[in-house]
Structure 1
Amino acid sequence: MSTNTRVNQPSRQPTPSLLARTRCRESGQAVVEFALVMIILIPIVIGTLDLGRGIYAYNVLASAAREGARYGTTLAPSDSTHPNLTAIRQRMLQTAVLDLDANQISATCSPDCYQGSSLTVTVNYTFLPATPLFWQFPLTGRSTMVIEYPRP
């Protein structure tokens, strides 16, 4: 009598394949590699965001200075050598989206404050990054335009 079953032979357990054994050993390696890459990648991303915020702040300052100079060229001056700084400051504080202080805005006329002379408006601002990775640094927006207000 012959049968196809094997009697008295130990059953063979399937052995894990070579690929499965190497995956098991490399699972910790992937976590370490991910951590090393993140140490470099996160500061780069945050620095890029702060750089974008800095460029945005500079553009806002330049635009505010241009708006203040344009507005100041059509105003009557306080006297022959001083522009109407109060009105220019109010206009700039209304248009700027940054937290500006009125003392950060200056305006000068050269040689006087009447038609044909130049009016220069300067805005100073200290940019403070959102992260402590970088230090604060000053930004300046400046614009010069020709005064249109006629002489009295």
Structure 2
Amino acid sequence: MLTPSRDRGAAAVEFALVLPILLLLVLGIVEFGRAYHVQTTLSNAARDGVRVMALQDSASAAIAAAETSASPLNLASARITVTPTTGCSSALTGAGLASVTIEYPFSLVSGFFPIDAFTLTGKGTMRCFG
């Protein structure tokens, strides 16, 4: 079936109008997926670190465990905070909780969205020797 000559090229024009919206949507999905992946990696690394802190009572071992667990992110140990810093045995007088907090600067890869770098945080808390 032949189309009239005045409708010729209409699909190309419609595609050109819809393409930027589709690309924006795909870029948004990719960036959100990356941010979600980094956030879950940080949460898992903090959980692994606090588990080592609660069981072994060693802040340096907890930092090493968190760094190993989040190895794809290339974490610096300065961004990992372990509390109590003196060990779980000194925390037994209080609540007896160990905590590991990891902060990671996250920036968008595409550079298309007008969002500056922001910090993602992963936190894990566990009862000492529990």
Give TM-score, length-normalised by structure 1.
Answer: 0.72
Name segments (4+ residues, structure 1) moved above 4 Å: none
1:72 aligns with 2:53: yes
Aligned to 1:129: 108
Query: For structure 1, which runs of at least 5 residues remain unmatched after alignment?
Result: 1-18, 77-83
Corresponding position of 1:113? 88
2:108 aligned partner, one-letter code:
P
Q: Which residue of 1 aligns with 2:64?
A: 90
User: What does the per-residue CA deviation read over 1:108-137, in whole Å, with 9 as the maximum and x for residues that have no partner?
Assistant: 129972274111100001112221123222
* Higher RCO, Cα 8 Å, sep 6+: 2
Shift of 1:47: 0.4
Q: The residue matched to 1:124 in structure 2 has which SS?
A: strand
Question: Could you tell me the percent identity over the aligned residues?
Answer: 32
Q: Normalising to structure 2: TM-score of the pair?
A: 0.83
Q: Is the 8 A contact 1:118 1:146 kept in 2?
A: yes
- Cα 1:94–1:21 change in 2 (3 A) is closer
Per residue, is there more helix in 1 or in 2? 2
Could you say if the C-alpha distance between residues 63 and 48 of structure 1 is closer, same or farther in structure 2, counting changes exceeding 3 Å?
same
How many residues are aligned here?
A: 123
Greater mean alpha carbon deviation, residues 54-63 or residues 106-115:
106-115
Question: In 2 relative to 1, CA 21–68 (structure 1 residues): closer, same or farther, beyond 3 Å?
Answer: closer
Distance verdict in 2 for CA 1:112–1:75, change over 3 Å: closer
- Structure 1 position 89, deviation (Å): 1.4
**Consecutive unaligned residues in structure 2, runs of 5 or more:** none
**Structure 1 letter corresponding to 2:105:** T
> How many Å separate the matches in 2 of 1:88 and 1:112?
11
User: RMSD across aligned C-alpha pairs, in angstroms?
Assistant: 2.3
- In 1, Cα distance between equivalents of 2:68 and 2:122: 16
Cα offsets for 1:10-58 (capped at 9, x unmatched)? xxxxxxxxx7361x33232221110110011101111011111111111
Residues 16-27 of structure 1: matches in 2 within 5 Å? 20=2, 22=4, 24-27=5-8
Structure 2 Cα separation of the partners of residues 21 and 144 of structure 1: 67
Does the CA contact (< 8 Å) of 2:63 and 2:82 recur in 1?
no
Larger Rg: 1
